[in-house]
Amino acid sequence: MKLFSTIKPLKLLAIIILSFDANADEPRFYIPDAPEIGAASYVVMDHNSGQIIASNNENERRSPASLTKLMTSYVVFQRIKEEFISLDDEVKISEKAWKTGGSKSFIEVGNNIKLEILLKGMIIQSGNDASVALAEHVAGSEGTFVLFMNDYAQQLGMLNSRFENSSGLPHEDQYTTAKDIAILSSAMIREFPDLYKWYSEKEFTYNNIKQTNRNKLLWKDSTVDGLKTGWTQRAGYCLVASANRVGMRLISAVLGSENSSVREAETEKLLDYGFRFFETQSIDDVSQEVPVYKSKKSNIRVGVKGSSYLTLPRNQFKYITHTINLDETLIAPIAQGESVGELVLSFNDETLAKFPLIALEEAPEAGFFARIIDTIKLLF
């Protein structure tokens, strides 16, 4: 990526403009509207940037059905990560878990079953009995486990979600949104890649009973590797899916379709639309040397903090302008990683995104006389 820059000599605010090829043709933003989707609410979101590409009623609270099990998985994964539990744990099946209605993994009361088997039963078979058994093992009771579910949901920014059980069986006070469930799915993929892979498995056998994954896109589209289906009378047919194509991962959530075929077809339409007309690029390599005063160094390099991404219509990145805004004139000492301003990405004076800017290297303080000289410089 070839960049050029200019530095404006401002005393209190340094601004560095960086842009792509200055000789690029005039931009043309001809992107079709998102397809019509047969669902009560939906969203398609880029996994890396978190940007929503298309949506409708994405913040509408709806009954989640078995999409609830995504939150159950997330809590269990977290507790495994914290080494509070392990995949090798033996979980004793309670009568409550055994009696849980709806879809089943066909576990039997009183048996000891490995936690890994229960996880696969919940993820692949959508076993409600396995969900309750996991919840009881992690937290002592399903009610206590629900506290973990809601706590993690709030931490993830799922502001329109509330959980009352671990399985997704109907409850009038249990709800989520298309946007929230996409946020949760993205967090699971990012934080637990080794465990997430189970969402791509097409079948699982336990107790000599083989059941197939209800996400039929796993058979239809080789780029789809998760996540979960759901259905109740109140929720309608739901599907959250993730696909990875051309170096880009999208997550779609379709809630409230009329049947299983529709939820699959509408998910395919959303994924195809996102991959066809949009792209995501990293902006981590956008950095610049800027002047620093009262330091042993005359310049330091500043850049974006952490991994940052932007999603735009295809072929439009070459028209984007990058502006590095420093909070103030940089004066030593400055620590590596210290916040120094923000990176603003814009097109035709319209701001597209802002990212925190940090010092990529330290600026140690200069000696007494060098500091005096720079103090005089800053007066003019």
Could you give the residue numbers annotated as active site? 66, 69, 126
Give the CA-trace dihedral at 347, 314, 217, 162, to 10 degrees: 0
Could you tell me how many residues make up the chain? 380
Provide the residue type at 325 as one letter: N
Contact 257, 236 (CB under 8 A): yes
Is the bond into 270 cis (omega within 30 degrees of 0)?
A: no
Q: Distance between CA 266 and CA 149 in Å, rounded?
A: 29
What is the DSSP secondary structure assignment for residue 263, as one 8-state letter? H
Contact 324, 16 (CB under 8 A): yes
Query: Which run of H or of E encompasses 7?
Result: strand 4-7
27: helix, strand or coil: coil
Contact 323, 287 (CB under 8 A): no
Q: Distance between CA 18 and CA 290 in Å, rounded?
A: 13
Q: How far is CA 79 from the centre of its chain?
A: 19
Q: Distance between CA 313 and CA 276 in Å, rounded?
A: 9
Q: Distance between CA 214 and CA 238 in Å, rounded?
A: 11
Contact 134, 166 (CB under 8 A): yes
Q: Distance between CA 353 and CA 204 in Å, rounded?
A: 43
Nearest to 174 by CA among 185, 182, 166, 163: 163
Nearest to 168 by CA among 134, 127, 226: 127
